[in-house]
Structure 1
Amino acid sequence: MKKSIPLLEVLLGLALIGEVTWAIDGSSVCQQSISGASRPHSVRITEFGAVGDGVTLNTKAFQNAIFYLHSFTDKGGAQLFVPAGRWLTGSFTLISHLTLFLDKGAVILGSKDSADWPIVDPLPSYGRGRELPGGRHQSLIYGYNLTDVIITGDNGTIDGQGSVWWDWFTNHNLNYTRPHLVELMHSTGVVIANLTFLNSPFWAIHPVYCSQVHVHNVTILAPHGSPNTDGIDPDSSTDVCIEDCYISTGTDLISIKSGWDEYGISYARPSSNIFIRRITGGTQSSSAITFGSEMSGGISEVHVEGLHIFNSKIGVSIQTLPGRGGYIENVYISDVIMTDVEVAIAVFSQYGDHPDENYDPNALPFINRITFKDMTGKKIRLAGLLQGIEGDNFLNICLSNVTFTVISDPPWNCSYIQGYSILVSPESCEPLRERIPKDSSVCYPSNLFKSELLEQNHMVNAVKSMPM
């Protein structure tokens, strides 16, 4: 009888999926719209001498157009319209109350000359460039201390032409950290929508020290194997919504970050109140959704739902390291479908590197209240690789209604973790086999989840009491 219970629990859990609707509380950030795209003033990039032949360098045209539009920031803002064509450019900087609109057939091309990407200071929460000591190349589209910025279009394209950067990185020919496609710093009210991003030299979209960020209906593509071409990396940012995106890149599809070792701890700018939903894609060399590894400022209050992950190395991962400090807590991941994934759920406690030798090896990360719920997977090699730190157990890892078709035996590999599970197949590892308490808030978020657990526990107990 005991051996048959897990299967029955799974069947009951599947039956419950249609009975329960999960609503994310506080997701008003996802209600932001691009209605602000209708600005009272608009100019075309061609009015400033730009030529869309894919050969002419248009950096000055973009800079001059934005300088001109600065006079309208207190008059309702303005729009810079980019028509169909191939507009080669180096880095340019946005202003507040601006809409950058790419028409159908419009392609902004990043220059292949590194001199067209200026050097800027390292992020204070990183202390140095992420790849090399010192500064870093400015992103193709850059902004600092802005309000009300919209980057959108009729599915226009921003192509970083990153292959030259990938070669320079692989061959150790760089003096500074590679640039992003879009980086906005210390900005509020950011919308990025209805565009395609291709071949970023480094991470594609990087909001850092930002709030009220809404990224939706974007496609982000980079070849498998292209180094560090993350899709979207919200970094030390709050009130972020990422939804309805297709991402296929060389590394993480979405990675939540908050600073690097002692610099992130000192800067103390967490990432929180982040909502990720309806994301489709895959990555053969990394994770679909990642927390870290740079998480020293803390990550909390993250809700992820509606993922379709395929042909990937890892489904969802937490990445950290002694010396990171910081915390990852109150994370809720649900409604996930995986196909052909090597490791469905991963928690790495020895991942990444340090910016220098000044980190505190005793600064241990705090991992607590991480819930995985309503997940299915086919052709999964390993259900979970969950590794905490000796003397620093990762706490309250919760699995609910999780069903994977797994190749490896044993299907779970766990150490230095503590948590709970219900309706899990194959049966979870020993440290997680305790039933989720029905009267506790250890599995986050607690209110609706607790009422659902009452029903699940009642049905499981009823099965156990059935005569055989």
Structure 2
Amino acid sequence: MPRTLSGSKRNAAHLVSGLALTLSVFSPAASWAADPPVSTQWGVVSEPAAPANICATLSATLQSTNGSLDAVDADGKAPHPDQDRLQAAINACTSGAVKLVVGDGAKDAFLSGPLTLKSDVTLWIDKGVTLFASRDPKDYDTGEDDCGTANDSSKKTCKPLIEAKDTKNAGIVGEGRIDGRGGSLLLSGDNAGKRSWWDVAWQSKQGLKQHAFRLLQINGGQDFTLHDITLMNSPNFHVASDGLDGLLAWGIKILTPSAVYTKPGYACPEGTTPDKLTPATCFTPDTVKNTDGFDPGQSSRVLLAYSYISTGDDHVAIKAGGKKPSTQMTFAHNHFYYGHGLSIGSETNSGVEDISVYDLVMDGFDSPNGNGLRIKSDPSRGGKVTNVIYGDVCMRNTRYPMVFDTHYSDKAGNLLPDFSGITVRNFKYMGSKADGGGYLVFRGLQQDGQYLPLGLTLDTVQFEGKQPAILGSPQIAANEKPSYAHITLGPGPVSFADALKPDVAARFKVTNLMDGMPADEMDCSAAFVPFSSVVEGAPI
């Protein structure tokens, strides 16, 4: 069942970042057919094909129970029984795929510690198979004996579960799952039997630094592919890249926490979550800290398409805190649920440009921490963010539908954030049961007499029912006015235009280019898809 968005007639053939749009998100029931190609800044990209060459086929020898493997390794004697044979098969493969399949007696699970991928090799996790992560912190520790704890050190002391370093043409594919087991109790160290990875992460609310592993880290290299795979329950970020040229993520699903660690609808009983109990017995997206979904940093030619993300932090966080800019990224035909937004930042000091987002559906489930479209930074890590275009967006139940904020924190410095050339076009907000029209934050920079105004165009932006409150800070209680911004309206209508008042003192400028023509209503009626129809056993 296709979803067709219908923007205003004046924009029916509009271009996003110079690219003609093909708007067609297909429901899971139609997933048997290949998804249509996606237009990007670097050309038309098609859905990846399955690897043609199989180097090795490995059969599962472990059996999960209701999506959990905790009964298998409870004694701590064999925390990663499959690690050696998996790594050996990857090392022996020169070009092709290492395929993990269901074993005799419907055995469906592999259990491993850290794995390293190599060039021209793909890890293929077949349908019905789950690669579970070891819950022994010693398996990930880099030698500091800090992994699995929280303390005052900012040093990264945990290896990722899967790492690709300076690879070419590597990837992870298949309809199976990778499960980081973030809510399972640790097996060694100071927190053995006392805390899970997510309990450790919650200690960051007490001012400590958590030491937990990422599910997938890609450092450098070219042309990494993720296709159809489900990533879930990571202790920390799910997918992160640094300095990568070419990242294709097509049809992936990111879900944290899964049904194994929660209740249907995330209706955890009172007193069971990490803010109330240690170790917690139930988790929600709002209590699994720093579990970003998809974080491309200092990377280029990045495409996330036809994917589904629900997690406890940013759905996407485009970072640029290194020596290279983040550029040429497309996010097309995606569905986002719980999370802190399709974000740029907070590190933007090496620059972010040429970002295209289109055909996006977001349902925030009225989380108090929910964000939609967000660009965030501060003077300690800011830089130039420009040529960012969001088009054809359906959104509901998201407390902050738009946040463009140069003061994400109070940290001081001389790396000044400068956001300009930002466009939101064909955007429809369906309202929130908890927050009505929600809150919009527009705040450019003023520091020591230097002004770097937010440059934002709003074109055909419609909020149903109650209109949003326009703020200058995400701190609602402060009720700050928007400031240091140049907002252009039109040519399509903006439903809350009357609330955008120029303010000379705050250097808040509004240019009205709306032509008075009525907009054809965007049809979001079939846009919202339950996550449980995409991933079996999802709690929403």
Question: Is the shorter-chain TM-score for this pair beyond 0.5, marking a shared fold?
Answer: yes
Q: Which has the higher strand share?
A: 1
Q: Which residue of 2 aligns with 1:116?
A: 139
Contact kept? 1:216, 1:242, Cα under 8 Å? yes
Deviates more, 1:242-251 or 1:360-369: 360-369
Contact kept? 2:83, 2:111, Cα under 8 Å? no
In the alignment, is residue 426 of structure 1 matched against residue 496 of structure 2? yes
Q: Which residue of 2 aligns with 1:241?
A: 303
Q: Which has the higher helix share?
A: 1
In the alignment, is residue 34 of structure 1 matched against residue 48 of structure 2? yes
Q: 1:63 to 1:301 in 2, by over 3 A?
A: farther
Structure 1 position 421, deviation (Å):
1.1
Q: Which residue of 2 aligns with 1:337?
A: 394
TM-score by length of 2: 0.68
Q: 1:70 to 1:144 in 2, by over 3 A?
A: same
Which string of whole-angstrom CA distances, capped at 9 and with x for unpartnered residues, describes residues 16-61 of structure 1?
A: 4546465356444661543361225233256xxx645642647464
For structure 2, which runs of at least 5 residues remain unmatched after alignment? 1-5, 21-38, 145-149, 184-195, 258-284, 472-480, 503-507, 519-540
| 2:296 alignment partner, SS class | coil
Give the Cα separation in 2 of the matches to 1:81 and 1:342.
41
Structure 1 position 389, deviation (Å):
1.6
| 1:425 alignment partner, SS class | coil
Q: How does 1:24-423 map to 2 (within 5 A)?
A: 26-28=40-42, 31=45, 33-35=47-49, 37-39=51-53, 41-44=55-58, 51=62, 54=69, 55=72, 57=78, 59=80, 61-73=82-94, 76-83=95-102, 85-119=108-142, 132-153=153-174, 155-163=175-183, 164-171=196-203, 177-223=211-257, 224-225=285-286, 226-259=288-321, 264=322, 268-283=323-338, 286-311=339-364, 313-352=370-409, 361-379=413-431, 380-382=436-438, 384-390=440-446, 391-405=450-464, 407=466, 410-411=469-470, 413-422=481-490, 423=493
Give the Cα separation in 2 of the matches to 1:34 and 1:393.
42
Contact kept? 1:82, 1:106, Cα under 8 Å? yes
Contact kept? 2:309, 2:335, Cα under 8 Å? yes
Contact kept? 2:7, 2:392, Cα under 8 Å? no
Letter in 2 for 1:165: W
Which string of whole-angstrom CA distances, capped at 9 and with x for unpartnered residues, describes residues 37-94 of structure 1?
A: 1225233256xxx645642647464344433443442xx3342434351212111111
Deviates more, 1:320-329 or 1:212-221: 320-329
| 1:35 alignment partner, SS class | coil
| 1:287 alignment partner, SS class | coil
Q: 1:40 to 1:104 in 2, by over 3 A?
A: closer
| 2:83 alignment partner, SS class | helix
Letter in 1 for 2:295: D
Give the Cα separation in 2 of the matches to 1:175 and 1:252.
18
Deviates more, 1:16-25 or 1:408-417: 16-25
Letter in 2 for 1:193: H
TM-score by length of 1: 0.78
Letter in 1 for 2:332: R
Give the Cα separation in 1 of the matches to 2:402 and 2:200.
33
Contact kept? 2:83, 2:113, Cα under 8 Å? no
Q: Which residue of 1 aligns with 2:271?
A: none
Which string of whole-angstrom CA distances, capped at 9 and with x for unpartnered residues, describes residues 223-245 of structure 1?
A: 31111111111111110000111
Q: Which residue of 2 aligns with 1:4?
A: none
Give the Cα separation in 1 of the matches to 2:203 and 2:380.
29
Give the Cα separation in 2 of the matches to 1:197 and 1:323.
32
Which string of whole-angstrom CA distances, capped at 9 and with x for unpartnered residues, describes residues 108-161 of structure 1?
A: 11111111213289xxxxxxx9994222311111111111112011x2111101
Deviates more, 1:133-142 or 1:271-280: 133-142
Q: 1:13 to 1:29 in 2, by over 3 A?
A: closer
Q: 1:324 to 1:145 in 2, by over 3 A?
A: same
Q: 1:407 to 1:240 in 2, by over 3 A?
A: same
Letter in 1 for 2:441: L
| 2:218 alignment partner, SS class | strand
| 1:433 alignment partner, SS class | strand
| 2:201 alignment partner, SS class | helix
Structure 1 position 291, deviation (Å):
0.6
Give the Cα separation in 1 of the matches to 2:515 and 2:467.
29
Percent identity between matched residues is: 23
Q: Which residue of 2 aligns with 1:125?
A: none
Letter in 1 for 2:249: V
Letter in 1 for 2:457: C
Give the Cα separation in 1 of the matches to 2:164 and 2:43.
21
Deviates more, 1:365-374 or 1:130-139: 130-139
Contact kept? 1:139, 1:182, Cα under 8 Å? yes
Structure 1 position 404, deviation (Å):
1.1
Structure 1 position 367, deviation (Å):
1.3
Letter in 2 for 1:119: T
Structure 1 position 340, deviation (Å):
1.6
